[in-house]
Structure 1
Amino acid sequence: MKYFHRVMFYSLLVLSLVWTCFALKTNPFLLLYDCEFIELVKFTYILGGITIFWPMFYVEIIDYLISASGRNGKLYKTYASSIQKDIVVSFIAALTLGSIYWLDLVKYNFSGIDLGYVGFPFLIYSIYTLFQIMRIKVAGKPVRKSPIIVMLVVVAIFTILAYSTLVKNSSGEYEAYQAIWFQLTILFASFFIFTSVSFQKHSLEKGKVELSKFKKYFFSQVIRSKNRLYESLGEPLNTMNKNTLQAKAKYSSSLRKKGKK
């Protein structure tokens, strides 16, 4: 499976890189040749920010399936169960919309929004979840709202951009290869945002954060990283878990003392 995962990851990454250049009608080599360095830097950031969602969609799907099966630890098992309903609802919505396109007897011309539309429930769930996170208290103390607000703004901006893109796509402003790319990118990015935000909420509610066993394996054995960035998060997370456990114990103790009074 290691080589299969590797092939899938890099295939999606390369496909995304090439397709993005065509979809955005930009040739980075031409920008370099014309010495348009500012435009090249801007496009490089756009390219990097967009293309990573394609292979990471694959990683998140596999990680969810392994978590649901219980092979990723207890925390990830309960996390997978907590978002199962949302995923099922989105899947049913996709099937419903797909059946409408199938039965409407109109030739499909890629101006539909079926693929991109599937991502919208994930974005709505993410925004709602971020508002829920702001109400969570850990050891009696509310979570820091500033980073959550930043995330909320980013997700909201992405949602608005995705909406306007799908409107343009439905109006037939994009060519077929562009329409498919925009829709897939919206879907993949939306799912990644959804899983990231959902796991953050679940971890805060449980008062514990753990690294995914699958992702630890993936980013050390499948996609080899010299710095082992993902694994390096383990120690600070363990420290944070210990501090949270101590804070919860003190908070519980103070509540018991107040109760006795």
Structure 2
Amino acid sequence: MTISGKNSKYMQEFYNELKRDLLFSFIGAIVFFGIAFTAPIKYSLSNIDIAFAGFPFLLYSLADIMQLRKLKIVGVKFSKKLVWALSTILTIVGVIYIHFAFEIYSGKFSDSKSLWVQLTLLLTAFCSLIGAHQMVFIIKKQRMEISPVLMNLFSGMRASPGIYKESEKAAKTWNETVTQKRAELRQSQQRKKKKKR
């Protein structure tokens, strides 16, 4: 929806930052499947190609999380403890990822289970990429926005608990707080300049 221009400008800008990485990954996947389906050897689901298509996403995620150390929210540095906590979580996910890839390659899963696990690993890595980059994007922008496309999607689901709707309220509160703190910071800086004069 974002690529077709049917999302907000904020979300379009966010996904534009990821477009190159996702495009290269998509092209790589197409080339791989082209080779796999035209080669005379039958493709085996005990291969880990699908799973490892997502492994770079975990590395991108870790790089984004480490980037948070250099960023500030209204002049305040991002919590180092939180950065290390998130980095540790991603590292653990990476170890689990490699463990399951090893299990698949060792032939410990049936074809259907192998495919299921590989797709789960791929989508987990993809979600990590989106989540980690979104944190960096929000802090750089000093503004948070909820995707209208996802809002419409979730509001149309009867089983949806309304968490996404609540996150819209949280984003609005966060934006108001940041705007207020920025104004206070500017006033404080102006006072300091006047005193120096």
Measured against the shorter chain, the TM-score band is: 0.7 to 0.9
Q: Which residue of 2 aligns with 1:201?
A: 136
Measure, in 2, the Cα distance between the counterparts of 1:71 and 1:99.
31
1:70 counterpart SS class:
coil
Shift in alpha-carbon separation, 1:179–1:236, aligned structure 2, 3 A: closer
Is residue 238 of structure 1 aligned with residue 172 of structure 2?
Answer: yes
1:154 counterpart SS class:
helix
CA contact (8 A) 1:69 1:77 kept: no
Deviations 1:81-131 (A, max 9, x none): 011111112223323433443465322122211111111111111111110
In structure 1, the gaps of 5 or more residues are 1-65
Deviations 1:216-259 (A, max 9, x none): 1122113443x522112222321211111122233344445556
Q: Which residue of 2 aligns with 1:82?
A: 17
Measure, in 1, the Cα distance between the counterparts of 2:14 and 2:118.
27
Shift in alpha-carbon separation, 1:95–1:75, aligned structure 2, 3 A: same
How many residues were matched structurally? 195
Q: Which residue of 2 aligns with 1:228?
A: 162
Deviations 1:162-198 (A, max 9, x none): 1122123223332212211111110111111111111
Measure, in 1, the Cα distance between the counterparts of 2:100 and 2:128.
18
1:210 to 137, 145, 148: 145
Q: Which amino acid aligns with 1:92?
A: I
- Residue 152 of structure 1: how far off its partner (Å): 2.0
Q: What is the 5 A alignment of 1:53-202?
A: 66-102=1-37, 105-202=40-137
Measure, in 1, the Cα distance between the counterparts of 2:4 and 2:69.
30
2:62 counterpart SS class:
helix
Measure, in 2, the Cα distance between the counterparts of 1:92 and 1:257.
54
Measure, in 1, the Cα distance between the counterparts of 2:3 and 2:184.
33
Shift in alpha-carbon separation, 1:167–1:104, aligned structure 2, 3 A: farther
The two structures, once aligned, show a CA RMSD in angstroms of 2.2
Measure, in 2, the Cα distance between the counterparts of 1:80 and 1:68.
8
Q: Which residue of 2 aligns with 1:251?
A: 185
Q: Which amino acid aligns with 1:183?
A: Q
Instruction: Give the TM-score normalised by structure 1.
Output: 0.67
Measure, in 2, the Cα distance between the counterparts of 1:224 and 1:232.
15
2:104 counterpart SS class:
helix
CA contact (8 A) 1:98 1:114 kept: no
Instruction: Give the TM-score normalised by structure 2.
Output: 0.86
Measure, in 1, the Cα distance between the counterparts of 2:13 and 2:27.
22
- Residue 159 of structure 1: how far off its partner (Å): 1.2
Measure, in 1, the Cα distance between the counterparts of 2:19 and 2:193.
38
Measure, in 2, the Cα distance between the counterparts of 1:192 and 1:100.
27
Q: Which amino acid aligns with 2:174?
A: M
Shift in alpha-carbon separation, 1:70–1:141, aligned structure 2, 3 A: farther
Measure, in 1, the Cα distance between the counterparts of 2:158 and 2:136.
27
Q: Percent identity at matched positions?
A: 26
